[in-house]
Amino acid sequence: MNRKLFAEAIGTFMLVSAVLGAALISGNAAGLGVALCIGLTVMAMAWAVGPISGGHFNPAVTLGLFAAGRFTAKDIAPYWISQAVGGVLAALFFALILSNRGDGSLPAGFASNGYGEHSPGGYNLLAALLMEVVQTAVFIFIIARVTRKDGAGNLAPVAIGLTLAVMHIISIPVANTSLNPARSLATAVVESGWALQQLWLFILAPLVGGYIGGAVDKALGDNP
C-alpha cells in the first residue's frame, strides 16, 4: 500500500504542477495551454505510475471507482490523504518559485477555483456547482469505461488525458475548472483567503459527480 500511496502523491503533484505552471508561469490560464498541459501530464503519469496505484490522482476518481465496484472502501481515505499531500506540496513548491521573482508577491488568486466575483467569467454559485458535478460525472464515467477489462487497454490514458483537456477548454471561464478536490485544496491553501471560503463547493461537487459517474458505469456493466 505504501508504494501505491507514494505513486498517488507523485501523480497528484504533477497534476497540480501542470495547472500552476501553465496558468501562473507560462500565462495560459484562459487558453489552450493549461488544458493541454494538464491533459498531457495526466496521460503521462497514468502510464508512468498507473500500473502501481491505478493512476487516480483525484479523490473524485477514487470515489467514482468505489461506486463502480472497483475500489475498496478501506483504501479511500489513504488515497485521499496521499492525493491531498501531493497537491499541496506542488502548490507550495510553485509558491516558493513565484515568491522569488520581482517583488516576491504571489499572483492574485493563485489559480484557485471560485464562483461569483472570483469566477473568471463572472459565473455564480449555481453555474459553478452544475458545471463541476456534470463534468466530473462525465469524466469519471469515461475513466471507468475505458479502464475496464474490455475497455481501451493501453490507450486508456490517451482517452483520459484528452477528455480532461477538453473539460478544461469547455469550463475554465466558469470556475477555473476543478473536477478534483485535491487540486482545489492545494491552491486554496496558498491563496488562504476567499478560496478557502469557497472550497466546500469544489470538494463537494466533484465528489458527487464522481460518485454519479461511477454508479452509471456500474449500471451499464460490461460491454456486450
- Is the model's pTM score more than 0.85? yes
Task: Give Cα separations from 95 to 21, 102, 153 (angstroms).
Answer: 11, 13, 37
The C-alpha angle with vertex 56 and arms to 208 and 94, in degrees rounded to 5, equals: 100
With beta carbons less than 8 A apart as the criterion, state whether 202 and 113 touch. Answer: yes
Cell numbers 482517452 correspond to 159
The three three-digit cell numbers of residue 215, written as one number: 454508479
Measure CA 22 to chain center. Answer: 15
- The pLDDT assigned to 222 comes to 86
> Is residue 119's pLDDT more than 60?
yes
- The pLDDT assigned to 208 comes to 98
> Is residue 1's pLDDT more than 80?
no
Please name each of the domains of the chain with its CATH number.
Answer: 2-220 (1.20.1080.10)
Whole-angstrom Cα distance, residue 19 to residue 57? 13
- The pLDDT assigned to 124 comes to 98
Mean pLDDT of 209-213: 98
